Amino acid sequence: MGDCYSVVLRTKVAKGSKPNLAALLRTWMRRVGEGTDASPGVAWNLAMYRTYGIRPDSLRGVVKILLAAHQGDFHRTVDDAGYDIYRSGFNASYGWAGVMRDAFREMAWALADGSYLYMDRDGGADELVVKKGRIWQEEDRKLRELPCASAPRSGTKARRGTCTGSGAKSHIRSM
């Protein structure tokens, strides 16, 4: 059993930010893939993705894994403002929404304002938006600020806190 997902991910690296988001997300994937005593890890099925030519060695590859590109309904375009727009429709477990939310929160500190993750699924719709360098979640037409990973300091892992990335002002769809 699981949910049917329709997902739109809009990303652009913030001005002045030069992160290697693919490396950051690969580290995150390893961390959440290991799991804990209280929670099993995420089964990434990387061997299966390799049979489709998909590897987590680039941001596009990681996004293809997160948005289940192997199921065939995956498209990438670039809008006039230079944002990468990824769209995908796929079936996944009920918990996959949390995995996508966590991945977005992990990279949000380096994203420009106007970047967002929109998920429509059997269990309802959810949207995370980067606005004024912070991440916001819309649920039931109400916004609330969420913590996200802050920029990693040299030699340290990402720490939890408010987003520190900011980019050019961008219009956010009316909510």
- Whether residue 139 contacts residue 133, with contact meaning beta carbons closer than 8 Å, is answered with no
Q: Taking 80 as the threshold, does the pLDDT of residue 69 lie above it?
A: yes
Q: Answer yes or no: are the C-beta atoms of 11 and 83 closer than 8 Å.
A: yes
Q: Which range among 31-35, 57-61, 71-75 shows the weakest confidence by mean pLDDT?
A: 31-35
Which comes out higher in pLDDT, residue 86 or 14? 86
In a domain, 166, yes or no: no
Q: Is residue 113 a part of any domain in this protein?
A: yes
Task: Please report the pLDDT score of residue 150 as a whole number.
Answer: 52
Residue 146 forms beta bridges with which residues?
Answer: 135
pLDDT of res. 73: 92
Query: Token match 């329709």: residue?
Result: 6
The domain tally of the chain equals: 1
Element at 149 (helix H, strand E): strand 148-149
99 within domain boundaries: yes
Report the candidate in 109, 86, 93, 8 with the shortest Cα–Cα distance to residue 43. 93
What's the average model confidence in pLDDT over 116-129? 89
* pLDDT value at residue 131: 87
Q: Is position 167 within any domain?
A: no
| Residue span of the structural domain in which 33 resides | 3-161
pLDDT bin (cut points 50, 70, 90) of residue 126 is confident
Burial class of residue 108 in the structure, from the number of CB atoms within 10 Å of its CB (0-12 exposed, 13-18 middle, 19+ buried): buried
The more confidently predicted of residues 53 and 171 is 53
Q: Once rounded to an integer, what is the mean pLDDT over residues 35-42?
A: 72
pLDDT tens for residues 131-162? Answer: 877 888 876 556 666 665 555 544 433 333 33
Q: What's the whole-model pTM score?
A: 0.78
Question: Does residue 174 sit within a domain?
Answer: no
**Token pair belonging to 147:** 């913590």
